[in-house]
Amino acid sequence: MAKVLMLQGTGSDVGKSVLVAGLCRMLRQDGVRVAPFKPQNMALNSYITADGGEMGRAQVVQAEAAGVEPHTDMNPVLLKPTTDVGAQVILQGRVYGNMRAREYHAFKPKARQVALESFRRLARRFEVILVEGAGSPAEINLRDGDLANMGFALEVGAPVVLVGDIDKGGVFASLVGTLELLEPAERDLIRAFLINKFRGDPSLLDPAFRAVTGRTGKPFLGVVPYFRDIFIQEEDGIHREVVRTPTGGEVRVAVVVPNRISNFTDFDPFLAEPGVRLDFVWPGERVGRADAIVLPGSKNTVDDLHALWRCGLADEILENRRRGAWVVGICGGYQMLGRWVRDPLGVESSRQEARGFGLLDVETVMEPEKVTAQSESRVRPGALDWYPDDDILKGYEIHMGRTRLGPGAAPLLEVRRKGHGSWHPDGAVSPDGRVFGTYLHGIFDNDAFRQAFLGLFRTGQARTTSFARRKEEGYDRLAALLRKHLDVDGLRRILDGSPDV
């Protein structure tokens, strides 16, 4: 069976996901067969595996860093919020159903068994499993039936490194306070502390290290500096300081953010492009003038459409279109570009319908069956005069709606899902070609398509970039950073079960 190490945090967004990715790449470089694992993940940013299962993007990024194929066993329980008190529950890649918070609390024993089943399968296939916790293990109200943090660690006997985010402030109080709220057996599993996101001279922390270690008996494994110059995809949420490129840029792409945005990483490839300014625009902000406006996916398209009309962003999108901007929609964003989105069965919303932007002659009806597949596609002949129709584009589909085209729209793509031999039409394009939408996530990950699209707005020849290569460079640089700033030998001793760190 595999050796196990679990990273837990003093709270959400302390950097656990990125640290696990870096450790995965570091161990891979050392010739270790390593896999990531997160028992329970709550995220709207998901991915479809080769066998059509759905999992969180965090573990996809970590699997890429480990050099292994993403598998739903790496994230056996995925919760995709649909409202403030409810979520779609996905077990081992398949939709189980929608639950409110209290329902899911009663369901936890079943989810726990699913998570353990997946973990044991992975442990038979790999030498090391790096486990990521969720939120904080010190949430007393969530301890009953816990499968995300200490409940899981106790079950499998996983040693734990507790991560604190010093950028938030109060990191030492958070570390000590977390220990104080744990049970003795849980405290025993925590082998060391790790400080993340530090700015400044780490030697200034030495007095605090001595005081905290003296009080708790737990050593520190190192201090990871705050970095901005290493490209790692944001896995579970959008951070405003990293989704706006510097002011300027020949081409401006504006992503309008709905409240229940999903798969925002569809637009990360634009961050790799020189001369492109990418802005995420939230409700309450202004779009301004843009060359292209992109509408991302949504886990509640009907409610998000109402919200975009109410806050004025819908009108700004339409005004940009009148000025000549291009408008693109992916998945839920594609549905929003049509005339109406209807949800008569309450699949996502308690509202039965919402008026779309009317930029494409299409209408969407939500249906209970969820499409999840890796897919390949090609542009339909004549659909886009700036892109060849013989080039194969890779991507994946995650959607619950069925969209029907009217006479004023033409199909954009032909798509073939993995495991199926037949091609079928997907998406739609306006008569002038400046508005198009598709259900194909990851379409802009295809370098040639992205660069051809940006070429519509550029005045000169831009340097070509490879998004896949940029990701690989990011993983390697992150691993090098961790080797420099962490006690790697101490980490190995924890993995090997040594009592000394």
Reply yes or no on whether the pLDDT at 245 is more than 80: no
24 is catalytic: no
Catalytic residue among 24, 331, 399, 485: 331
Q: What is the structure's pLDDT at 84?
A: 79
424 is catalytic: no
Q: What is the structure's pLDDT at 261?
A: 87
Reply yes or no on whether the pLDDT at 112 is more than 70: yes
CATH number for the domain whose boundaries are 3-40+101-231+473-495: 3.40.50.300
Average pLDDT of 227-234?
87
Catalytic residue among 71, 399, 441, 485: 441
Contacts for 484 with CB less than 8 Å, ≥ 6 apart: none
Contact call for residues 278 and 243 (beta carbons, < 8 A) = yes
Provide CATH 3.40.50.300 ranges for the chain.
3-40+101-231+473-495
Q: What is the structure's pLDDT at 240?
A: 44
Cα distances from 183 to residues 158, 191, 337, 351, 394, in angstroms, run: 15, 15, 52, 45, 48
Q: Which token pair is 319?
A: 């005004």
Q: What is the structure's pLDDT at 241?
A: 45
Query: Cα dihedral angle (238, 240, 245, 251), rounded to 10 degrees?
Result: 70
User: What Rg value do the Cα atoms of the chain yield, rounded?
Assistant: 23
Cα distances from 224 to residues 327, 331, 485, in angstroms, run: 40, 37, 6
Provide the percentage of residues in the chain whose pLDDT is more than 90: 83
Q: What is the structure's pLDDT at 145?
A: 86
Closest by CA position to 445, among listed 30, 40, 37, 57: 57
The owner of tokens 């930029």 is 359
pTM: 0.91
Reported as a single tens digit per residue, the pLDDT across 399-444 is: 988 999 999 999 999 999 987 879 999 999 999 999 999 999 999 9
CATH topology of domain 251-458: Rossmann fold (3.40.50)
Provide CATH 3.40.50.880 ranges for the chain.
251-458
